[in-house]
Amino acid sequence: MITIEKADRLKQLPPYLFAELDRKKAEVKAKGVDVIDLGVGDPDQPTPDHIIDRMAAAAREPRYHRYPSYSGLNSFREAVSRWYERRVGITLDPRQEVVSLIGSKEGIAHIPLAFVNPGDVVLVPSPAYPVYKIATLFAGGTPYEMPLLEKNGFLPDLAAIPAAILAKAKMMFLNYPNNPTAATATLDFFKEVIALAEKHNIMVCHDFAYSEMTYDGYEAPSFLEIPGAMAVGIEFHSLSKTYNMTGWRIGWAAGNKEIVGGLGQIKSNIDSGIFEAIQIAGITAMEDDAAWLAHMRGIYTERRNVLVQGLRELGIDAHNPKATFYVWAKVPAGYTSAGFVAHLLEKTGIVATPGNGFGDPGEGYFRMALTVAPERLQEALARIKQAGF
């Protein structure tokens, strides 16, 4: 038998946060506990029927059974361009400034491979979606963590980044509306980012996956709508959360044509594109979606109100989000993030995510996802109250 030794790039990685959550959840379920899972952001509602119907029809067309285009159907990229024009009033060249993705995670994970050399610095927010840092490490880059602190509205303090780091920085990841904090960014903040990027020759990668999950009339700005953004950046989007299509694996990246092109080169050597029937369904999702968005926002608004109000009544300091389907809250006094979440699971059967699992600045917080019905949220709150947290 040979000796199996993992590559150094795997040895330097912590356990993937959500895989570890799944393991702990399975242990509790095996004991017969009725688990209420508020951990992973996976919509509980089904994909809309009209999207499924279009997929079913397209899947029966033999022309979609062959290898797909690496960059995506022209019709899909044209639909993305129309989405941006309708949503934020900008015009994109669908053939040079848009590329399809097998979910936005795939594009985020691959883009450092196109531009980051060993020793290059990548500015990553913390706490944050773990893939920004992991993708940097896989490419041989050096992540520099930008703390997202409550006193700064969970926006990175750009002025606090050392000059020596900026001199080596090749790329910056941002994500607004934000996971895990649910914070939102202003137009002025994006303008500051663009000015910094231009001054130090840094490409900006903005994760816009939660753009449509908004409340109380709030509209999340796109990074690309800011003058100058197209010269420095790219934006990732996904149909996963907006249209309950997490399992379909479809998204896109749009922006600067050189950055889009570099990502496309990586994709053409690694994957074979998205099944074209799924792209046809994606077009259906993006077109004429006003009624669906209103329906979806209504569902999550009710859930947000139940959970935030309930946590506050229990004495837990929970932020009231303007966007995303996450609630970011402070752990009760006397607990660490990991300790509280572990105790919560053991005593109540409720799965939450420890804030420090997204990065050290998340210590003292936990995240809950609005991915169960209001009745189950009420049950979760009742269990927390009974447990005496």
Residues 6+ apart with CB under 8 A from 90: 84, 222, 224, 225
Is the domain of 33 the same as that of 115?
no
Boundary (domain end) residue, out of 260, 288, 316: 288
pLDDT of residue 31: 86
Boundary (domain end) residue, out of 288, 304, 326: 288
Tokens representing residue 301 in the block: 């608004």
Provide the number of structural domains found in the chain.
2
Is the domain of 90 the same as that of 35?
no
| 257-270 helix and 104-115 helix, angle to the nearest 10 degrees | 100
Mean pLDDT of 43-47: 95
Is the domain of 319 the same as that of 369?
yes
Structural element, H or E, at residue 98: strand 98-101
Please give the Cα distance from 301 to 307 (Å, whole number): 10
58, 52, 89, 48: which is closest to 291 by C-alpha? 48
Q: What is the pTM of this model?
A: 0.95
26 — pLDDT class (breaks 50, 70, 90): confident
* Residue 143 DSSP SS3: strand
Residue 115 forms part of a structural domain: yes
Digit-coded pLDDT (tens) for 140-171:
999 999 999 999 999 999 999 999 999 999 99
* CATH code where residue 214 lies: 3.40.640.10
pLDDT of residue 23: 81
Is the domain of 36 the same as that of 96?
no
Is the domain of 275 the same as that of 211?
yes
Is the domain of 105 the same as that of 18?
no
Residue 1 forms part of a structural domain: no
Residue 5 forms part of a structural domain: no
Which domain range does residue 172 map to? 49-288
Digit-coded pLDDT (tens) for 348-382:
999 999 999 999 999 999 999 999 999 999 999 99
Tokens representing residue 118 in the block: 């060993």
Residue burial 5-37, b: 16+ Cβ < 10 Å; e: rest: eeeeeeeeeeeebeeebeeebeebeeeeeebbb
Boundary (domain end) residue, out of 242, 263, 288: 288
Is the domain of 192 the same as that of 337?
no
Residue 247 forms part of a structural domain: yes
Portion of the chain with pLDDT greater than 90, in percent: 89
pLDDT at position 276 over 90: yes
Contact 367, 41 (CB under 8 A): no
CB atoms within 10 A of CB 135: 25
Residue 320 forms part of a structural domain: yes
The radius of gyration of the chain from alpha carbons, rounded to an integer in Å, stands at: 21
16 — pLDDT class (breaks 50, 70, 90): low
Please give the Cα distance from 53 to 48 (Å, whole number): 9
pLDDT of residue 11: 84
Residue 4 forms part of a structural domain: no
* Residue 310 DSSP SS3: helix
Is the domain of 164 the same as that of 209?
yes
Mean per-residue pLDDT of the chain: 95
Is the domain of 199 the same as that of 72?
yes
Digit-coded pLDDT (tens) for 111-136:
999 999 999 999 999 999 999 999 99
* CATH code where residue 332 lies: 3.90.1150.10
Mean pLDDT of 261-269: 96
Mean pLDDT of 249-273: 96
Digit-coded pLDDT (tens) for 329-347:
999 999 999 999 989 999 9
Is the domain of 262 the same as that of 180?
yes
Mean pLDDT of 240-247: 95
Residue 53 forms part of a structural domain: yes
Mean pLDDT of 12-35: 79
17 — pLDDT class (breaks 50, 70, 90): low
18 — pLDDT class (breaks 50, 70, 90): low
Please give the Cα distance from 191 to 245 (Å, whole number): 32
Please give the Cα distance from 343 to 325 (Å, whole number): 23
Is the domain of 216 the same as that of 249?
yes
Is the domain of 173 the same as that of 28?
no
Residue 106 forms part of a structural domain: yes
